Structure 1
Amino acid sequence: MAAYTGTGQKGGKEMERTGMGKLVMQMAVTIALLGGICAWNLHRADERVAAMLEQGGVQLPVIMYHSILKDEARAGPYVLSPAALEADLDYLQHNGYETVTISELVDFVDGKGDLPAKPVLITFDDGFYNNYLYAYPLLAERDMQAVVSVIGEQTALYTESGQENAYWSYLSAGRLVEMQESGVFEIGNHSYDLHDDSVRKGCLKKRSESVEEYRQMLTDDTHLSQTYLAESGLTPPQCYAYPYGAYSDETEDILQEMGFRCTLTCEERINIISPGDPDSLFLLGRYNRPSGMSTTTFFEKALPGEGS
């Protein structure tokens, strides 16, 4: 019989504790290293931001709205009340922010114009009729501007039907012309018929498509929307708002080749745009404005320096 060595249950537990201790120590070291790397990366990012601002770059917050309805029962992530929108607009003006247009941003990056000290870009996605009913007068009363990015097929449908309902209809071409000519709204492109996630996610490529097929699809859809809007008496949009915020390197290449000067995502971040840097207008981040949040709380995260 082998001699008893004393490494029974008690010894096994001791070894287990020792092993766990080493593991905990290794995890602590790893976390500390990761924390240091993250802090270093944040520091480097802050340095890059500071350098861009010193070279004439401007911080540009972009606010994203969708549907505006009085019915509080409809309130949600993409439906806001007119009263909340009014409070937002008053907050921006009270805190010294001035709205800018896509055209002004393009002129700025092209070195042809200046921006206000505290610019903000206000955007409305989808082109709901209630934007005309509620947002348009609130903006006009305050001499503020915004861009509404429309789904071409919906605009065509409601131009033909003539139906106008705050709950479910979209802006007709006639309403868009009125809004554009007022100087309050610019028109953006939100695809012609790609605001759907049942077949593909917005304008992303399907797995079954070849690159050539995909490029042709996106080019055709975008051209159809641009042509329809131009033939309706509207200035062809310079800005494309990605449906669902879904984009890829391919989408960016195609839209830039088609002459777009700006693209809008749904990623929440504050942008820095720079004179002489047209690329700084692509893949702009935006903060979605949901209901159920006070104006102050929302802008603490959406405006530079407001939450500090």
Structure 2
Amino acid sequence: MTLRKWLIAFIASLGLAAAVVAGFNIIVDPFGVFGDKVLKWHSYNMVNNPRVAKIGYLDQYHDRYNSYIIGGSKSSSISPELLNEYYGDDARFYSMLMYGGDFHDYEKTLYYLIDNYKPKNIVLHMSLQEISHYNESPTDFKQSLHAKVSGESQLEFYTDYLKLNPTYAYRKLEGYAKRAIDSFEYSQFIPETGVYNKVKRDAEPVDNLEAYMAANKEAFAPFGKLEAVALDQNVESLRRMKEYTEAHGATFRLITGATSEQELLSYDMEALKTYWAKLADVTDFWDFSGYTNVSGDPRYFYDTMHYRNTLGRMMLGYIFKDQEVYVPSGFGHYTTKENVREHAETVFTRPAAAASEAVKIPILVYHHIDDDPYEPNSLITPVAKFRSDMEAVKAAGFNTVFISDLIDYVDGKKELPENPLAITFDDGYYSNYEYAYPVLKELGFKATISIIGWSVGREEHRIPGKQFYPHFTWEQAKEMQDSGIIDIQNHTLDMHESEPENPAVRSGILQMTDETNGDYALALQTDVGLMERQIESRLGNEVNVFTYPFGFYSHLSEQLLKDMGYRATLTTTSGISEIKAGDPRTLFALKRINGGPEVPSETLVSRLQGK
């Protein structure tokens, strides 16, 4: 074969290979650039690059939508379905979330949406980290804008995706074959709404903070410093977006997303105050960022930078005044140029740092004291055993404190004695007055007793024939409170029931299956509030400690009680608690050690000593 024929054959082979690669990329379409007409696996494409894939998707289906959310990955917690409900007027929202997005990306996307799809509403979701970058060059195919959006050469754009490394397409085919085994792994976007599929993350147990942090320790690692290099560019971009949107007859709303305290460590607070003042000069906005009642609780966040769907729902509930949605006190602010400086000073001032050393606080719990119970169990302690426990505690050198003393220590109002120990009693049994109170007086011990409102002073259950131990009266409670060694606190007015087999009965204070957050908040806060007022009016003491019936509690119940002004909560989780001066969060969900009949007094003391 002649050299000329070899060259022709070689060039033809290259052309054929290029055609095969191009055809492979068009058919498999791993970024959705060509509309993914064959596999129609839009979720996979959006995982690769939502900026590109969503334009490919919307070019086919934009007639299904008339409103858009624009923002970075945090904006995924703003539900398009909820916005449809709140906006009404046939609003049909789609989320244009893009990870790593900045104001340049948002502005270009907004122009494309308005020019091509004529939307009725635009919601711009901004995050604090956008202050640190603007119009950064994409490093790979996973971050670039679609050429239709960026205004770059569409010929070059499509050519780049035609000659794309075929491993991208191969991985998509490989995933397509495996998705029957794990559909979630390969469907992390919901194409019909544009948001992340967070069903697995939202199913995570979050009630126990210690367990949640143990399971997600790496997710809350420090993020590093972020400098305010894009402040003025962002403000001018915002101004252009608002003007362009309104000039084309659409509504414009700015929302700033919730931030964790871990994320807030990345920013200069003075720069954020300046930023907020400049934003408010452009538009009023709904602000949920900064140091708020939720920023210090990691259970509201998936990781350092992303808040949970739960918070997204609360944010929308606040904006649209939805009474069925519980919103923590102090979370959410409608920010205007008139109030921005005062508001920014509040949310962008770092709280005082907590003491670095935690103090171990053993908390001992008893219920009924009785030598002849109906049925012996771990919550009923014989009289002699109780005295033995107290004498052993005295001999071991423990100094007793109220739970309210722990609050004062955290607030910096008092020091704790050496070897502090808190003794607590639950329910308010008459035996506490008859047997425990005299022993405590004799030994000079303090104790906190949490009482149930409906049972105060009763000798029989309100349901005839139901097993019941007598409870002390209000007069006896007053006597103990006035003695200075007993502090009476809240154990609910009437939420101390549990019938696991009967869904119509609330389990302690827990939310019922079909109960909205708003209805639950009303039920819990009404009950606890009524009991609080009874104690304060009858006994004259401050009520700021709550003991959970049966130890049942949730993340939401903790927040509701914080909103009511409660400073500490007690559980039945076994263990020794740790509190920190300056960190009021450490006073919630406190652990306790059960006294009970089975554990010898010497063994009990060893447990209290952490041995």
**TM-score bucket of the superposed structures, by smaller chain:** 0.7 to 0.9
1:44-59 residue pairs with structure 2 within 5 A?
A: 55-59=356-360
Residue 582 (structure 2) pairs with residue 276 (structure 1): yes
Deviation at 1:233, TM superposition (A): 2.9
Could you tell me which of 409, 413, 418 is aligned with 1:112?
413
Q: How many residues align?
A: 248
Could you tell me which of 559, 573, 589 is aligned with 1:267?
573
Q: Does the residue aligned with 2:591 lie in a helix, a strand or coil?
A: coil
Deviation at 1:54, TM superposition (A): 8.6
Q: Does the residue aligned with 1:232 lie in a helix, a strand or coil?
A: helix
Deviation at 1:84, TM superposition (A): 0.8
Percent identical among aligned pairs is 34
Aligned counterparts of 1:226 and 1:149: Cα–Cα separation in 2? 11
1:15-94 residue pairs with structure 2 within 5 A?
A: 55-71=356-372, 74-94=375-395
When normalised by structure 2's length, the TM-score is: 0.39
**2:472 corresponds to:** 171
Deviation at 1:72, TM superposition (A): 6.9
What letter corresponds to residue 578 of structure 2 in structure 1?
A: I
Could you tell me which of 122, 127, 130 is aligned with 2:423?
122
What letter corresponds to residue 61 of structure 1 in structure 2?
A: P
**1:132 corresponds to:** 433
Q: Is the 8 A contact 1:102 1:238 kept in 2?
A: no
**2:124 corresponds to:** none
Structure 2 unaligned spans of 5+: 1-213, 218-353, 463-467, 500-504
Residue-by-residue CA offset, 1:21-64 (whole Å, 9 max, x unaligned): xxxxxxxxxxxxxxxxxxxx8xx9xxxxxxxx993421100111
**1:38 corresponds to:** none
Residue-by-residue CA offset, 1:117-158 (whole Å, 9 max, x unaligned): 100110000000110000000000011000000001111656
Could you tell me which of 596, 601, 605 is aligned with 1:299?
605
Residue 413 (structure 2) pairs with residue 103 (structure 1): no
Could you tell me which of 265, 282, 285 is aligned with 2:591?
285
Q: Does the residue aligned with 2:536 lie in a helix, a strand or coil?
A: helix
When normalised by structure 1's length, the TM-score is: 0.76
Q: Is the 8 A contact 1:68 1:130 kept in 2?
A: yes
1:70 to 1:230, Cα distance in 2 relative to 1, 3 A: same
Could you tell me which of 476, 492, 509 is aligned with 1:203?
509
Q: Does the residue aligned with 1:230 lie in a helix, a strand or coil?
A: helix
What letter corresponds to residue 293 of structure 1 in structure 2?
A: V
**1:18 corresponds to:** none
Could you tell me which of 523, 541, 544 is aligned with 1:217?
523
**1:14 corresponds to:** none
Aligned counterparts of 1:211 and 1:278: Cα–Cα separation in 2? 25
Could you tell me which of 152, 175, 187 is aligned with 2:488?
187
What letter corresponds to residue 571 of structure 2 in structure 1?
A: T
Q: Is the 8 A contact 1:127 1:170 kept in 2?
A: yes
Deviation at 1:103, TM superposition (A): 2.3
Q: What is the aligned-residue RMSD (CA, Å)? A: 2.1
Answer with 1 or 2: which has the greater Rg. 2
Q: Does the residue aligned with 1:296 lie in a helix, a strand or coil?
A: helix
Q: Is the 8 A contact 1:147 1:188 kept in 2?
A: yes
Q: Is the 8 A contact 1:75 1:81 kept in 2?
A: no
1:156 to 1:209, Cα distance in 2 relative to 1, 3 A: farther
Deviation at 1:232, TM superposition (A): 1.4
Could you tell me which of 239, 244, 247 is aligned with 2:545?
239
Q: Does the residue aligned with 1:188 lie in a helix, a strand or coil?
A: strand
Q: Which has the higher contact order (CA 8 A, sep 6+)?
A: 1
